[in-house]
Amino acid sequence: MGAEEYVPDKAGITGLRRAVQECRGCDLYKDATQAVFGEGPADAAVLVVGEVPGDQEDRQGHPFVGPAGRLLDRALVEAGIDRAQVYLTNAVKHFKYKPAERGKRRIHQKPGRTEVVACRPWLLAELDTVRPDLVVFLGATAAQSLLGTKFKVTQERGKVVELPDRTERAVATVHPSSVLRSDDREAAYRDLVADLRTAASVLG
């Protein structure tokens, strides 16, 4: 169990992206269309970590191309973070879902801790390759991937923290999907943008 043995050394983003399609580090590859690797400049100043690809991402092979991605794009622009400076990825690279009881719909499922830990070597390889100044975590699953399960996004969101055993600084905030689900979308969106502004201020 775990992606370690599938992650090539010094492969660059292109080599990693090719290799991830062969990963069997957990069971999620079995039912997904493809692995969805991170995208963006290999020298990006900011590395943004989401949770797991959704239905659209699984079909298209690119991260954050669905509704949550559109909201994220808008929030980044509003916070003054240039998309051209951002490398965007997920804590888990294969879509997790269960089939709807009737029909063809695939219902998104949250990856478990085992899958997050299994997939972490890919995220660490992306970090080692991109070497960003700042990491932004979207939601608890993403944040806990590198900050540990004691990390509470509700309490620590919008604060600059250090990544354990690494040099990068990080800011955690909520997942854009939670904004879309919120009863008060406007407020939830404003808070997301505020956290991203704090992140932008680290970059100077």
Nearer to ligand URA, 60 or 198 (CB): 60
With residue 19 as reference, give the H or E element that holds it. Answer: helix 12-20
| 119 binding ligand SF4? (CB under 6 A) | yes
Q: Is 7 helix (H, G, I), strand (E, B) or coil?
A: coil
Among ligand SF4, ligand URA, none, what binds residue 57 when CB lies within 5 to 8 Å by partner kind? ligand URA
Segment interacting with ligand URA, rule: CB under 6 A, options 39-47, 57-65, 126-134, 159-167: 57-65
C-alpha distances in angstroms, 17 versus 1, 43, 64?
20, 16, 16
CB of 167 to ligand URA, least distance (A): 25
Could you identify the residue written with the tokens 């997939």?
A: 119
Q: Does 91 bind ligand SF4 (CB under 6 A)?
A: no
| Contact by Cβ (8 Å): 172, 143 | yes
Distance of CA 69 to the CA centre of its chain: 11
**Residues in 76-95 that interact with ligand URA by CB under 6 A:** 90
Residues 148-177 close enough to bind ligand URA by CB under 6 A: 177
Q: How far apart are CA 175 and CA 139, in angstroms?
A: 4
Question: Is 63 a residue that touches ligand SF4 (CB under 6 A)?
Answer: no
Q: Which is nearer to ligand SF4, 145 or 173 (CB)?
A: 145
User: Please, are residues 98 and 109 in contact by the beta-carbon 8 Å criterion?
Assistant: yes
Does the footprint of ligand SF4 cover residue 20 (CB under 6 A)? yes
Straight-line distance from the first to the last Cα atom of the chain, in angstroms, rounded to the nearest whole number: 40
In the chain, the amino acid numbered 157 is R
Q: Which residue has the tokens 């290999």?
A: 42
Does 35 bind ligand SF4 (CB under 6 A)? Our answer is yes
> Footprint of ligand SF4 on this chain (CB under 6 A)?
3, 20, 23-26, 28-29, 35, 92-94, 115, 118-119, 122
> Footprint of ligand URA on this chain (CB under 6 A)?
50-54, 57, 63-64, 66, 68-69, 90, 177
